[in-house]
Chains A and B, each alone.
Chain A
Amino acid sequence: MPAKASRAAFGEALIDLGAKDERIVTLDADLSKSTMTAKFAKTYPSRAFNVGIAESGMIGLAAGLALSGRVPFACSFACFLVGRFETIRVSVAYTNAPVKLVGTHVGVAIGEDGYTQMGLEDIACIRSLPNIPIIQPADEIETKQAVAYAVEHAGPLYLRLTRQNLEPVHDERYRFQFGKADLLRPGTDVTVLATGGPLFNALEAATKLGAEGVNAEILNIATIKPLDEEAILRSAGKTGRVVTVEDHSIHGGLGSAVAELLSEVMPTPLKRVAVTTFGESGDPKALYAKHGLDPDGIARAVLKFLNR
């Protein structure tokens, strides 16, 4: 299976789901070619609404549609979508309107467009709101199943998707389970919890670490909220060392969620690999190298953390 961006897998899944479920509608703010709902709009023109560059209004509209029985996917770049936080806070979360918020173009991996287009604080913002779970799928197979899950999920939900292609980490037998971490590589020396774009790099790093005599356990954290506390604590209890890896601000993302869990329940040494500055323009691979999210960077961080 070739690498595919999770936004592309999302767009494909939505067309299939839309054929079976009349309730599904899409909302876009002039980015449907980028969020990949444009084909849905062509296939089901009466169920796709492009409101212009007006994200707040789009989110409110989605809330009203959800409250009258539709299943709206409100889509934009993660930063523009979650940037309209107040509307999400009140009209989606507090109202408990089952809107499916879809933020694409997350992280520094969008590359050349630079910081203003990068979703880097979206997990932190949404994590502060009751009622809205956060799902960041790792590859095409997981994305398609997560989109199907989003339709069935009774409440609001936030789906975090990448611009860049993602190498497959699952095969056809994989079954996405909401709220469950997914063990990709068993190990004994350190637990690596990774999500989204750099997950594949974490797996590559594990191979490098193996050559250095470090046996890393890799878990894919597709559901960032609610965390699979049981699986994380089980793995952390076994290895005694935890590293988180994400293409998001170091403040408030997966690393923070894991820190909160571990420090309250089972204090465990923790290293967070994440973005510590604003983003910037550049080649995506070079940006991952600069921010330590490439295989070498992750392996280096783990070795340093383990004093190796």
Chain B
Amino acid sequence: MANPDLANLEAIAREGRVQIIRMLTHAGSGHPGGSLSVIDILTTLYFNRLRYDPKRPGWEDRDRFVLSKGHCVPAQYYCMAKAGFFPMERVITLRKLGSPLQGHPDRVMLPGIEAATGSLGQGLSVAMGMALGLKLAGKTARVYCVVGDGEIQEGQVWESLMSGPKLGAPDHLLDNLCVILDYNGIQLDNFVKKILDLEPVVEKVKSFGWPVLDVNGHDIAQVDKALDQAEANKGAPTFIVAHTVKGKGVSFMENDPEWHGKAPKPAEAVKAIREIVGEPVPGWAAAIIGELEALEKK
């Protein structure tokens, strides 16, 4: 969107990092690394791009967002709470029995989630179906799908990449679809390059017929501009490669495969939050620090 309020969006993303650390610490398990790598992208989507109404999650003309790398759903839960889908206090019920904030997204339990994901490789095909369905219904709503870099090792992703630019031809081509790759370079077992290198990923996806954009996924202005370009592309869906840092914002988590799927202990969480917010610690962050210190004493 023209002239995004960058300072505001960056503040929202900063609070998001704190809330991600908070909810994972309460849960005692989960995926901080990828949640922190994707939060700037999700902030840009939720607060400067997507059309939705938190009071009417089933609104037919809403834009759809599918987080195919479902293990990073803490970032999405934060955005949804911040946007008003549910109260922010509820984020600490993440992964607890009875909570709609399941460990991986659940469309039935939590209105506003568009698809159950986390069984990797499926979200893109579902998002493509949504984009095609909207086109067939004559709707102008758009569909956004975030995939992980480890995730796109799944064969189903390449089935979708093969058909994406051709599906719906000639009258319903999927230019209402935008795919964003959170390219943080780390998967569960190790660095992506060491497990199964994706390179040259830009050339690969281009060769399948997608317009591909290459951005810094932590630069909200760059992400926003790429989303503008995607919206302007007619006749084909767009693929954005967003280069990110796993664990971004918390120095002891950054670029360390250990933090793919391990929750911080309360003391680590406090250290992380102090680093994210800096000095002086704002009141809302101080309250969360107090809450986590109390958790440690339990």
- Interface residues, chain A, with chain B CB atoms under 8 Å away: 25, 46-47, 49, 51-52, 54, 56-70, 72, 86-87, 89-91, 94-97
Contact = CB atoms under 8 A, between A and B. Distances in A.
Contacts of A52: 159, 162-163
Interface of B: 60, 64, 106-108, 114-119, 121-134, 136-137, 139, 155-156, 159-160, 162-163, 167-168, 171-172
B171 A66 contact: no
Given A64-B131, A65-B133, A67-B133, A57 B163 contact: yes
B119 A89 contact: yes
A87 to B, nearest CB: 6
Given A64-B128, A67-B107, 14 more contacts: A46-B136, A47-B136, A51-B159, A54-B162, A57-B125, A61-B125, A63-B125, A64-B131, A68-B129, A68-B139, A70-B133, A70-B137, A87-B156, A90-B119
A87 B64 CA distance: 20
Nearest to B167: A49
Sorted from nearest, which 4 A-B pairs have the closest CB atoms?
A64-B129, A60-B125, A68-B133, A57-B159
Contacts of B155: 56
Contacts of B121: 56
B108 A95 contact: yes
B129 A60 contact: yes
Contact of B128 (A46, A60, A86): A60
Contacts of B167: 49, 51, 61
A89 B156 CA distance: 15
Contacts of B127: 64
B92 to A, nearest CB: 25
A86 B133 contact: no
A63 B108 CA distance: 14
A65 B137 contact: no
Nearest to A70: B133
A72 B116 CA distance: 18
B119 A61 contact: no
A83 to B, nearest CB: 13
Contacts of A72: 129
B156 A56 contact: yes
A66 B124 CA distance: 15
Contacts of B129: 60-68, 72
A56 B133 contact: no
B172 A57 contact: no
B162 A64 contact: no
A64 B132 contact: yes
A65 B130 contact: yes
A65 B236 CA distance: 18
B108 A57 contact: no
A91 B70 CA distance: 12
A3 B156 CA distance: 39
Contacts of B123: 60
A51 B132 CA distance: 13
Contacts of A97: 115, 126
A69 B121 CA distance: 23
Contacts of B128: 60-61, 64
Contacts of B160: 57, 60-61
A54 B166 CA distance: 14
